[in-house]
Amino acid sequence: MTVLAIRDLTLRIAGRALLEGASLAVDPGRKIGLVGRNGAGKSTLLRAITGEAQPDGGEIRLASRAQLGHVAQEAPEGAASLLETVLAADEERAALLAEAETNPDAARLAEIHDRLIAIRADSAPARAAAILSGLGFDAEAQARPVGEFSGGWRMRVALARALFLEPDLLLLDEPTNHLDLEAALWLEGWLARFPGAVILVSHDRGLLERVPDAIAHLDRGRITLYPGNFANFVRVRAERQAQQRAQNERVAAERARIQAFVDRFRAKATKARQAQSRLKALERLPPIEAVVEDQPVRFDFPEPADLPPPILALSRVAVGYDGRRPVLRNLDLRLDQEDRVALLGANGNGKSTLAKLLAGRLEPMAGELRRAPRLKVGYFAQHQTEELDPRGTPLSHMQAALPHATETACRSQLARFGLDADRAETEVAALSGGEKARLLLALCTREAPQLLILDEPTNHLDIDAREALVKALAEFRGAVLLISHDPHLVELIADRLWLVADGTVRQFDGDLDDYRALLAERARAANGNGTKPEAAPTRTDARRDRAEARAAQAPLRARVKEIEALLERLNREAALIEAKLGDPATYTRFKPEDITWANTRRAAIAREVEALEQEWLDLHERLEAA
């Protein structure tokens, strides 16, 4: 028996078909990741399953008595506490408790109590509190009215309500967008243990690789189910595309062979019958199916100038906001140009405050902050989308940010992040969230900064754009300070972790697995099931190896630049010599020994260029291997 059956589904928006003849079956306990390009129809499909969007054809059938859970689009509000708001999501429990207070009939009361026991009503407050705690709300916050919290925090409460119901089928659309890393890690563990079925739409590759046991791919109006996680989906899909290309090549070759026979012998009476037979064989060949391959997404950060270390150093620094107590104290930190640092710590601990301090948006309240001369900092924060002029275009924003640059230079900077000629002149109001994020990345890197501070850069980027960001950051020759709820991004980019907690920042000697274990241990301790955890585990991990490898690569990269400069100079000199030797007047104006020297120098340059090119290739092989 399936929890959900979708058969021959057709969904259209403004006359455009998103899905046409699509089918999908979801078995009990199955966890499916729903993926596809932006605009493929993922969110619309979830809305159709919940009944918020009407299909244009086909059928969506939920199993009888199966409970459907999803996160409401509207954040909860009102005077009820967070705990009461989550408990109210179970309408049956709330109705039974209310009836038990007013119904005097003993037989009915017995039925009510039997049902309350069956739905575990007595453990509901503890379950609700545990979910809220995992999503970042402590006991004090759980008692506060939901209306006192900002929209992002109230969306966490909406997520908590959906999880609390423990439905037979749970629909989640980008559930980590409003979460910090700690809450995202908790949600990942919760979903892995959840016994019900899940359909998960997410651009978080780590979540898609650790939670789903199948991937449903929305492409060209159809849904194709791939067993396994996202990594397996990528592998199997690439293999299928390769097989399709090979099949197309075989069919094309056979078509060409048969057509050549027909063209050669059609007019000959002795071969006419064979030619007709070949024509019928040609008709029976399968059609050549197009292999649709996604256009690769590339981000390209400008190359910064080198600065002597450290580029930033903090000594006994305190930072906060005007008229308030410091948020962070006793900061003794250092950043070099090769550093890759990710900040850990729950929302509200001061991660964004530290980012603003290092970006120059806040001044120290105490202590000393030293910056390298000529240091340029690129600062990306999601709230900056609110500062964009909705009537402006990416090009007008870039021209305002680079008033002395040519239009070509401004367009070139936008193109580094996939904003082509058409998008460069599209009004900001018409851009998608991902396109606005690309614009912010283009703006914050316009001056080739030595330090990039990225505060949740992936919130609106799809999977391909996130992978492009990972590759660009790996090639970036400056320092990176990263705040992200995306474990996949943190694990691939960060060489060091700084823990922002207890009013200060300190080095975390471990990796994300260590941090997951630390959070789990703290949760057990908070629930009275464990001892007080140590501050942080200590072990050498792969991240430290990557930092050392990057440091070892620095001389290789420097030599590559040196060779490129030498090759450019030698090639210019060789071109000048070639031009002189190719001019007949040279042989009358210059002495024979000058001609001999020119030929000797040309040969020497050729040997030097060949040696340098070989060294350049060897260096690139070493860098790629590293």
List pLDDT tens digits, range 13-61.
877 788 888 999 999 999 999 988 777 788 889 999 998 889 999 999 9
The angle, 0 to 180 degrees and rounded to 10, between the axes of the packed helices 394-401 and 407-415 is: 120
pLDDT of residue 276: 60
pLDDT digits (tens, 9 = 90+) for 493-523: 898 999 999 899 999 988 888 888 888 777 6
Amino acid at 393: T
Mind giving me the DSSP string for 469-526?
A: HHHHHHH--SEEEEE-S-HHHHHHH-SEEEEEETTEEEEE-S-HHHHHHHHHHHHHHH
As a whole number of angstroms, the distance between CA 171 and CA 162 comes to 9
DSSP state letter for 533: P
As a whole number of angstroms, the distance between CA 469 and CA 147 comes to 36
Residue ranges of the chain with per-residue pLDDT less than 50: 270, 288-293, 529-541
As a whole number of angstroms, the distance between CA 6 and CA 29 comes to 17
Phi, psi of 417, deg, nearest 5:
-120, 30
Nearest Cα residue to 431 out of 468, 396, 481 = 396
pLDDT of residue 262: 65
Mind giving me the DSSP string for 211-257?
A: S-SEEEEEETTEEEEEES-HHHHHHHHHHHHHHHHHHHHHHHHHHHH
Say which residues have a Cβ less than 8 Å from residue 279's Cβ, sequence separation at least 6: 258, 262
As a whole number of angstroms, the distance between CA 466 and CA 204 comes to 9
DSSP state letter for 338: T
Give percent of the chain with pLDDT exceeding 90. 32
pLDDT of residue 268: 54
- Tokens representing 468? 């492009």
- Tokens representing 91? 């309408």
As a whole number of angstroms, the distance between CA 308 and CA 335 comes to 11
pLDDT of residue 381: 87
- Tokens representing 29? 């306990």
The angle, 0 to 180 degrees and rounded to 10, between the axes of the packed helices 106-118 and 91-102 is: 150
pLDDT of residue 273: 59
pLDDT of residue 614: 83
Say which residues have a Cβ less than 8 Å from residue 573's Cβ, sequence separation at least 6: 601, 605
pLDDT digits (tens, 9 = 90+) for 321-346: 887 789 999 999 999 998 999 999 88
Q: How far is CA 202 from the centre of its chain?
A: 9
First to last CA, the chain: 50
Nearest Cα residue to 577 out of 602, 549, 559 = 602
For the range 414-419, what are the long-range contacts, defined as Cβ-Cβ under 8 Å and sequence gap of 24 or more? 414/439, 414/442, 416/299, 416/300, 416/301, 416/302, 416/442, 416/445, 417/299, 417/300, 417/441, 417/442, 418/297, 418/298, 418/299, 418/465, 418/468, 419/394
- Tokens representing 559? 């030599």
Any idea what the Cα angle at residue 562 is, between residues 558 and 566, rounded to 5°? 170
Task: State the pTM of this model.
Answer: 0.68
Q: How far is CA 621 from the centre of its chain?
A: 28
